[in-house]
Structure formats: C-alpha cells, structure tokens
Amino acid sequence: MATSSNAFSTANPHALACILEASETRSIISATDIFDAQGIKLWAARQPVTADLQRRLADRKLREPLESCLIAEDGVSPKVLCTALAALADGDSAINLVVKPHLARLLREAAQLEIQPAAQLLLTAAQTARTTLFDHAVAAMALNGALTAAAGGDTPAVRSAMLAGLLHDLGEVYIAPQFGEADADRELDFVSYQQLVVHPHVGYLLIRQLTQYPSVIAQAVAEHHEHLDGSGYPRALQATEISPQGRLLAVTEATLNALRSPYARLLHASVALRAVPGEYDSGWIGQISSLAALQGAAPAVMETPDIQARLDAIEQLLIGAEHAATSLNAQPTSSALHGAMELATFLIGRVRTGWNECGLWGHPAPTAANAAEIEAIEDELYRRLRGVQRAVMLRAGSLPEADASTLSTFCDGLVMGCGAD
C-alpha cells in the first residue's frame, strides 16, 4: 500500500475482495457513478456491487477512492454495535471483568457513535467476510471504553476511546487475510510479519483521508502497536511521542492479543503488559493487573517438580540469545546486518530486564502456588523472542548471501527452544 496522498487512488485487491464477498449477502451499492482518472465511467450510481466490478477496476486509477463511492445499505450501525457489545458481555471473555461494571454506560455511548460511510463499509465487509477481525474490533471498542470509564472519563472521552478501539484495525482489511494479526503474532512467519506491520499506517491514512473523524482517532490508530520504550512499530516512537489515546489503545491491543486463547485469563494479559518494564503506560496496566488479581489464576498445567526445570530452560535460552547477539556484534558485518544486530541486542536486553524483574527466577522454592504465573511468563517471554526474530529480519531487509545466512542461523537459534503456542 502506498503511503502518499494517493494511497487510495486504486482499489486495494484485498479490501475489494472482502467487500465483494460481503456483497453476496449484504446490500452494498455504489453511492455515485464511479469514474477512472481519465473520466471513463466504470460503474453507475445506485447499482449493486458484483464481481464484475473487480474486472472493471483492475489496475485503474480512480477519480475518487472506491471506499468513498460505495455504501452498505444494511451495514454496521450503532444498533448492530450494541447487539455485538451485549453478546460479548454475555459470553465468557476474560475482558468481561473490565467491561461488565461499565456495560450500561458503554451501551448508551455505543448507541450514539457516529459510523461514517467509509468506516461503515469496511466494518460491514469485516463483519461478513472477516468475522474474527470484526469481533476483535468490538472487543477493543468495549475494553478501550471501559478502561476510560473506569478512569473517570467523561462522555466525549469514552466515545472517543470506543471509536478508536472500533476502528484501530481497519488497516488489516488491506492485507491478505492469512497475514492477519490473529495468526501472524503466533507463527514463526516473517512474511506474515512484513505484511502485518503496515496495517497501523494504512488505518491512519484511511481515517485521515476518507473520513472526518478527529485527528486524535487517526493518531491513536497509527500508534496502537507503539511502545513507550521505542520497541514498537511501525515508527518505533518513544514516551511523549505517543499520544494519550495511543497509549491507551496500545494497552488494549496488548491485552486482547494476550487473551486470544480461549483458555487465557486476565493473568496472561497482566503478565504480557508487565513482561518488559517501560513498554506500556503504568496507569492502564494497573487497572488490568488489579482485576487479574481478583480473578486469580486457573489451575496450572505444570507439575511442581517441573517448575525449576522450566525456569532453567528459559534462563539458558536467554543466555544463548545474549551470547549469540554479542558475538555477532563483535564481528565485521555489513551496515545492514550490524543495524539489525543492534536492534536484536536492544530487544533481547529488554526481555532480559523483564525476566530479571519478574521475581520468579532464582525463587528459592517454586511451588504450585506460582506455577500458573510461571507458565504465563514462560509463554510471554517465548512469544517475545519470536517477536525479536521477526523485528530483526525486518530491520535487516535484503542482505548479501553470507550475511543473510549468518542472520538466519542467529534467528533459528533464537527461537529453537521456544516451542509452539
């Protein structure tokens, strides 16, 4: 996806495919005549969208973005959002400890949210063709709003937070569905990661160029994977460079990602947010961690005699990663590989800091009482090391054959002991 002011001058094939799939069961029509850049009429106003539109749009630059020319007549509405929010609260989602105390207010505010046409079109397409993405948007709307309400936010603040949560992943509609976050964050798949990292910026462009939402919403969408310590993406922003709404949305996103497993409890989110000190806003972390303590942990799978062995395995994996990064940094390499290894050293160091500060390594007698937390920390640290692998490969880019082989060996060793999620 281009990042200029002409980002939507051609129809994105993945977004178009999603819209077309939705049009098979939803009423999606052209709001206006659709013209290419030369003034040739491609589609008449008020006509239903069909597969023939895809052929006519192929590689053509458009006078107006396609997203501005289509409407979903029976699309996502405030009523639909209220229904989805109520269904979420009736389920067994781990975030319900955060959401349910504020449900009545969230339902009132959801009923008043403004869903502008381009956003409605894409939300409707996601609801029909990418249901996981839509469910995630509703959960983010609920959690972002609930956290703001719990912090004493007024009506404009709660509505803004809910909108930011609802819209934050619209950029994923513009990448192939197999590269979506639900899968890419779990698999050792660098190709998925390359595709995935662009979605915050695409979402930002979408909101800035195709809607009239306040700039604070677009900025938060752009920042929802940024970390206060500079380890996030796509811009590696730090501290005050990230807006207050962006800080909140980053905590919401990290919480929901930690809870993607149906067996996860708030403990997993609390551990994910605290795994590396300084990544996330401590005020928002406090809300999640306090409720996690109230919920408690599920019975641990790990047997007590295995706990120390698992702790030792994590320590040895970190030692190996640190040694490999230090050794490579000391060798003469290309500037690209050197930059990648500098990033690896920084990120591994952050993981090490979190591991040292978790209070479990070197515990005199780990018992079943803290086994569940150890399991959660183990899962999170392994996930972080897989994330280091992808981030380092992305930073390195295209390398000479010898350097590429060196980096591949390093990355293989980095994740070898991580196991599967």
Q: Chunked in runs of 10, what are the mean pLDDT values of the chain (421 residues)?
A: 63 94 96 95 95 89 96 96 97 92 98 97 97 96 98 97 98 85 52 79 96 97 95 91 97 93 85 90 93 72 68 83 85 85 89 77 56 77 83 84 86 67 41
Q: Which of 376, 344, 378, 328 is nearest to 231 (CA)?
A: 344
Residue 357: predicted pLDDT: 77
Q: Let me know: does 180 contact 320? Beta carbons within 8 Å.
A: no
Residue 4: predicted pLDDT: 40
Helical (H) or strand (E) element with 131: helix 131-150
Residue 412: predicted pLDDT: 82
DSSP code at position 70:
E
Return contacts of 288-294, CB within 8 angstroms, 24+ apart.
288/98, 288/251, 288/255, 291/97, 291/98, 291/266, 292/265, 292/266, 292/267, 294/97
Q: Where are the domains positioned within the chain?
A: 13-72, 78-295, 304-415
| Domain 78-295 CATH (choose: 1.10.3210.10, 3.40.50.300, 3.90.190.20, 3.30.590.10) | 1.10.3210.10
CA angle 271, 277, 281 (to 5 degrees): 85
Q: Which residues contact 270 (CB under 8 A, 6 or more apart)?
A: 285, 288, 289, 292, 293
Residue 329: predicted pLDDT: 80
Residue 1: predicted pLDDT: 39
The predicted model scores a pTM of 0.88
Residue 184: predicted pLDDT: 43
Q: Which residues contact 243 (CB under 8 A, 6 or more apart)?
A: 216, 219, 220, 223
DSSP code at position 246:
H
